[in-house]
């Protein structure tokens, strides 16, 4: 209205200005119902403008009066909506704070106010019931969501979580399957169904699930590939112990495919190399391990690579390990391997030189054992004792924990494989079940006569004398112990046999 009035005013002003400039006032005559009015053109323009503005104002007043009830209703609805939004916000805040009673009160109030947001009201009601510990009400609220197509996934997820909380694994699996069957599903449904199949040891079904999820674009191609590689390795581990030659051949095929898909997945690579070696394909096994070392070095890889050949001299084995380390020289495991291969070759000076590259590494039991072996091989038994004492209390390395006391790598149970599949598929990282359970690993401190037969000669003292300490239990003996000081009052004289700090005592 204001815009129209401004336009009319400008037109009138322009017309009046033109008349004034020309000096001709003009003449206008109006005859209506027997009446006649004579006036100037400028007066006519002004009267016309005034009549138009008056008519427009009258019309706007009439429209405003007619729309007054509707306007009042809209204002009430907006105020109600603002109040509903405020109640919903406070309700969700109460749920987040764990105040179940307040959340349920606000949920009941929101159900009376939020007519335009029934979905949010149902979500708040369900979560408020959970916060209050009312499983029956929560289940009813989540079940009510199933009637709304846009809320079925949310309802299924809530029902699945309630079933899990009540220990109903079968019910939770059924809700997960129903959620995954929806045309528009979510990643959590895929993972829940995947975990269900993994717990049942259904490796083939889990692979089909990963393939279907990729086709439906629920997961990325990388996640699908990692999941497939881990599942192939888990399936191969199950088939490996079977006496049927066909099933063992199938295990070899699946492990080799897993190593090809993901060379950085050490469990699958080590299994493939072991099965290939048993099948008389040592060259192919070497290639598999070398490709894996380039991608992601792991201590189990070089140990498997070392054991591929049993008819070589220590120097030949050392050269072969050096070639493996040179494939990824910047990696920490490669620097550790250089120390190992120097010890195997009987070159203590080069072993100590290679060990200096690890001086900045955090001290673990494995690093301490490596430095102790290098020091003793160089004829420094006192320094070796110091490193052994540090290694007794040092933490273990997660990767090294994948080796059991017998030296077997990745000797996992089906439950461990199930967790490994999910972890590696989603993050590309290994989990370490033995490390988590704090189980014993292959010896980290010097026990080379047992663990590394080729390096046993390095433990002997110079001139063929025995080592000055017992590597099996961390105890050493001095042939000629230094004279002990006289004991003070109340003190006992120390014995000639000394024990390293924190080392286990020798059974008498």
249 Ramachandran zone, left/alpha/beta (phi>0; psi -120 to 50): alpha
The pLDDT assigned to 161 comes to: 92
Boundaries of domain holding 71? 1-21+39-85
pTM comes to 0.70
Q: Which residue has the tokens 């749920």?
A: 95
Length of the chain: 508
CA separation, residue 334 to residues 207, 271, 297, 397, 448 (Å): 34, 21, 7, 15, 20
pLDDT tens, position by position, 154-176: 999 999 999 999 999 999 999 99
The pLDDT assigned to 18 comes to: 66
Which of 211, 188, 189, 267 is CA-nearest to residue 235?
267
The pLDDT assigned to 4 comes to: 66
State whether the Cα torsion 177-179-184-188 is positive or negative: negative
Query: Does 395 fall in a domain?
Result: no
In the predicted structure, residue 262 carries a pLDDT above the cut 90: yes
Query: Does 47 fall in a domain?
Result: yes
Higher pLDDT, 368 or 104: 368
The pLDDT assigned to 22 comes to: 64
Query: Does 45 fall in a domain?
Result: yes
Specify whether the CB–CB gap between 205 and 239 falls below 8 A.
Answer: no
Specify whether the CB–CB gap between 358 and 336 falls below 8 A.
Answer: yes
pLDDT tens, position by position, 269-279: 999 999 999 99
Q: Which of 22-26, 27-31, 433-437 has the lowest mean pLDDT?
A: 22-26
Count of structural domains, the chain: 1
Q: What is the mean pLDDT of residues 454-470?
A: 38
Residue 370, phi then psi, degrees to nearest 5: -65, -45
- What is the C-alpha to C-alpha distance for residues 434 and 406, in angstroms, rounded to an integer? 14
The pLDDT assigned to 114 comes to: 67
In the predicted structure, residue 324 carries a pLDDT above the cut 90: yes
Query: Does 373 fall in a domain?
Result: no
- What is the C-alpha to C-alpha distance for residues 297 and 430, in angstroms, rounded to an integer? 12
Q: What is the mean pLDDT of residues 413-427?
A: 93
Percentage of the chain lying above the pLDDT 70 cut = 82
- What is the C-alpha to C-alpha distance for residues 468 and 383, in angstroms, rounded to an integer? 12
The pLDDT assigned to 273 comes to: 96
Query: Does 490 fall in a domain?
Result: no
The pLDDT assigned to 15 comes to: 67
Which of 295, 388, 377 is CA-nearest to residue 333?
295
The pLDDT assigned to 463 comes to: 37
Which of 138, 142, 90 is CA-nearest to residue 114?
90
Query: Does 126 fall in a domain?
Result: no
Q: Which residue has the tokens 């429209």?
A: 63
pLDDT tens, position by position, 193-228: 999 999 999 999 999 999 999 999 999 999 999 999
- DSSP codes of every residue in 110-130: HHHH-TT-HHHHHHHHHHHHH
Query: Does 10 fall in a domain?
Result: yes
Residue 331, phi then psi, degrees to nearest 5: -75, 150
Higher pLDDT, 339 or 47: 339
| Residue 102, token pair as written in the block | 């307040």
CA separation, residue 174 to residues 171, 179, 196, 222 (Å): 5, 9, 10, 28
170 burial level (CB within 10 Å; 0-12, 13-18, 19+): exposed
489 Ramachandran zone, left/alpha/beta (phi>0; psi -120 to 50): beta
User: Residue 341 belongs to what H/E stretch?
Assistant: helix 332-345
3-state secondary structure of 28: strand
3-state secondary structure of 354: helix
pLDDT tens, position by position, 386-399: 999 999 889 999 99
pLDDT band at 259 (very low <50, low <70, confident <90, very high): very high
Specify whether the CB–CB gap between 313 and 345 falls below 8 A.
Answer: no
Query: Does 368 fall in a domain?
Result: no
């Amino acid at each position: 209205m204001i815009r129209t009035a401004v336009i009319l005013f400008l037109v009138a002003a322009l017309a009046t200005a033109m008349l004034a400039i020309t000096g001709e006032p003009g003449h206008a005559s109006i005859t209506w119902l027997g009446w006649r009015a004579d006036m100037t053109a400028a007066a006519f323009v002004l009267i016309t403008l005034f009549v138009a503005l008056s008519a427009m104002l009258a019309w706007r007043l009439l429209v405003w009066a007619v729309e007054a009830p509707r306007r009042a209703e809209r204002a009430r609805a907006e105020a109600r909506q603002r109040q509903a939004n405020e109640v919903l916000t406070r309700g969700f805040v109460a749920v987040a704070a764990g105040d179940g009673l307040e959340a349920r009160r606000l949920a009941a109030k929101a159900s009376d106010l939020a007519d335009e947001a029934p979905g949010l009201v149902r979500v708040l009601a369900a979560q408020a019931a959970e916060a209050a510990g009312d499983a029956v009400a929560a289940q009813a609220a989540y079940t009510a969501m199933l009637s709304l197509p846009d809320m079925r996934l949310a309802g299924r997820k809530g029902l699945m979580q309630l079933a899990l909380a009540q220990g109903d694994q079968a019910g939770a699996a059924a809700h997960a399957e129903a959620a995954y069957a929806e045309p528009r599903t979510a990643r959590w449904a895929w993972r829940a169904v995947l975990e269900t199949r993994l717990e049942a040891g259904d490796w083939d079904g889990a692979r089909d699930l990963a393939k279907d999820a990729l086709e439906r674009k629920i997961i990325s191609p990388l996640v699908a590939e990692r999941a497939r590689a881990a599942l192939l390795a888990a399936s191969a581990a199950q088939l490996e112990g079977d006496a049927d030659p066909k099933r063992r051949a199938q295990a070899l095929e699946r492990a080799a495919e897993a190593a090809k898909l993901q060379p950085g997945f050490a469990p699958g690579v080590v299994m493939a190399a072991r099965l290939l070696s048993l099948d008389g394909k040592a060259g192919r096994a070497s290639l598999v391990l070398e490709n894996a070392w380039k991608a992601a070095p792991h201590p189990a890889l070089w140990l498997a690579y070392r054991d591929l050949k049993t008819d070589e001299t220590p120097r030949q084995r050392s050269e072969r390990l050096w070639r493996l380390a040179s494939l990824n020289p910047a990696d920490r495991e490669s620097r550790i391997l250089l120390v190992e291969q120097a010890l195997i070759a009987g070159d203590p000076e080069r072993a100590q030189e290679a060990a200096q590259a690890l001086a900045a590494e955090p001290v673990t039991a494995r690093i301490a054992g490596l430095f102790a072996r290098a020091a003793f091989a160089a004829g420094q038994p006192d320094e070796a004792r110091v490193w052994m004492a540090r290694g007794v209390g040092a933490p273990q390395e997660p990767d090294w924990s994948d080796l059991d006391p017998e030296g077997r790598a990745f000797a996992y149970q089906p439950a461990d494989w199930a967790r490994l599949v999910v972890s590696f598929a989603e993050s590309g990282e290994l989990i370490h079940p033995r490390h988590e359970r704090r189980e014993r690993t292959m010896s980290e401190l010097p026990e080379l006569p047992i663990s590394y037969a080729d390096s046993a000669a390095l433990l002997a003292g110079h001139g063929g004398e025995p080592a000055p300490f017992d590597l099996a239990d961390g105890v050493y003996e001095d042939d000629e112990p230094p004279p002990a000081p006289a004991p003070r009052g109340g003190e006992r004289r120390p014995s000639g046999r000394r024990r390293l700090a924190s080392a286990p005592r020798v059974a008498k």
